Amino acid sequence: MKADEALREEVAARALSEGDDPALAAAVEQLAAAAEGALDGLVFFGSRRTGAAGANVWSAYDVFVVVPSYRLFYDAMRRTGLSGKGARFLSLISRWLPPTQYSIRLEDLPVHLKAAVIRTDTFHRETSPRRRDHFCAGRLFQPSRVLFARDESIRAALVDDLVSAHAETWGWSRPWLPAVFDAGDYGRNALVVSMSWEIRPEPPGRAEALWEAQKQEQTPVFAALLSALATRGELVPGDTAGQWRLARRMDDMETFRWETYFRRSIVRSTARWLKHILSFEGWLDYILRKANRHGGEPMELSDRERRWPLIFLWPRVFAYLRTKNRKGRAPSEGSTP
């Protein structure tokens, strides 16, 4: 359908756009060479991609590292000196709750890649209706760029995955849409809902700040999506041009199903923390820097907390969860976020 083609064109125009960061381009070239053929694709996302407030010179570059084989990729990283961790061990834990967070620092470049390593077939699944949680889909409906693809067929497949991640917002964000909305309202609502169902060291209003940073780029994408949904009879025009209403009301069971989806995703994401402690070099300092950047008051760890974080850091974690402002939490049915 032409409406669906318009959505793909909008996503592809952004995903395949030229970047303007020479250091990142050099890092991509180095990493692709170091991977020695064990790399299918790199997808850039996150605050560095959007230029959102809160990203600074110390911020890592968030990338999905899409690989044909965990073992081949980690072997190459160990062989070329980009990681000191055992390839067999990393390959084993990467099969559990993918993706796996992995720190990559490249020689002589001011680039720190916070890599979410994921196998190619799993990446396809996790941006589709068959996904097992919200991690990949919740990041890739935002601005992304394909930095590297091993060949044109993989590049096309990665773009298809990004299109799917955008299209899937219709399911999980729909219970919390306002009665009347335009493309900008839709995009903002999706971001607020997505972030409200994650445990992240972010200040109140972070979702709104992120939407401000990306709305100019993403509003045309969501306008194309809404047009496609209207063509399929899911939406009816509002009173003003560019505004839409749901063609049918959400029932309680559908809302409950999506709430369950998000709660399951929180459980899986929290369980991933245990894996990332093992896979991400310097994880404690990275989390501390991010919490200090977004969390307000600076946090200093005691010697005891640094030495045995898995024992003595939990009181801080629980205090954070108790006091974290959850104004972004997805509201009950019938209200707006």
d(CA 151, CA 156): 9
Both tokens of residue 190?
């999706």
Percent of the chain with pLDDT over 90: 65
Task: Supply the pLDDT for residue 300.
Answer: 65
Indicate whether 9 pLDDT > 80. Answer: yes
Average the pLDDT over each of 93-107, 237-251, 267-281, 306-320 and give the range with the smallest value.
306-320
Average the pLDDT over each of 121-130, 146-155, 159-168, 275-284 and give the range with the smallest value.
275-284
Query: What single-letter DSSP state applies at residue 43?
Result: E
Task: Supply the pLDDT for residue 273.
Answer: 84
Provide the pLDDT confidence category of residue 326 given band limits of 50, 70 and 90.
very low
Query: What element of type H or E holds 41?
Result: strand 41-45
Environment class of residue 198 by beta-carbon count within 10 Å: exposed (0-12), middle (13-18) or buried (19+)? middle
Nearest to 225 by CA among 106, 141, 306: 141
Environment class of residue 236 by beta-carbon count within 10 Å: exposed (0-12), middle (13-18) or buried (19+)? exposed
Task: Supply the pLDDT for residue 298.
Answer: 59
Measured from the Cβ of residue 266, the count of other Cβ atoms closer than 10 Å reads 14
Domain 2-166 has CATH 3.30.460.10: yes
d(CA 335, CA 330): 9
Task: Supply the pLDDT for residue 329.
Answer: 46
Place of tokens 């470049």: 109
Indicate whether 253 pLDDT > 50. Answer: yes
Alpha-carbon distances, residue 200 vs 4, 78, 84, 160 (angstroms): 33, 30, 28, 28
d(CA 47, CA 63): 11
Average pLDDT, the chain: 86
pLDDT tens readout for residues 188-206 = 999 999 999 987 656 667 8
Indicate whether 331 pLDDT > 80. Answer: no
Indicate whether 94 pLDDT > 90. Answer: yes
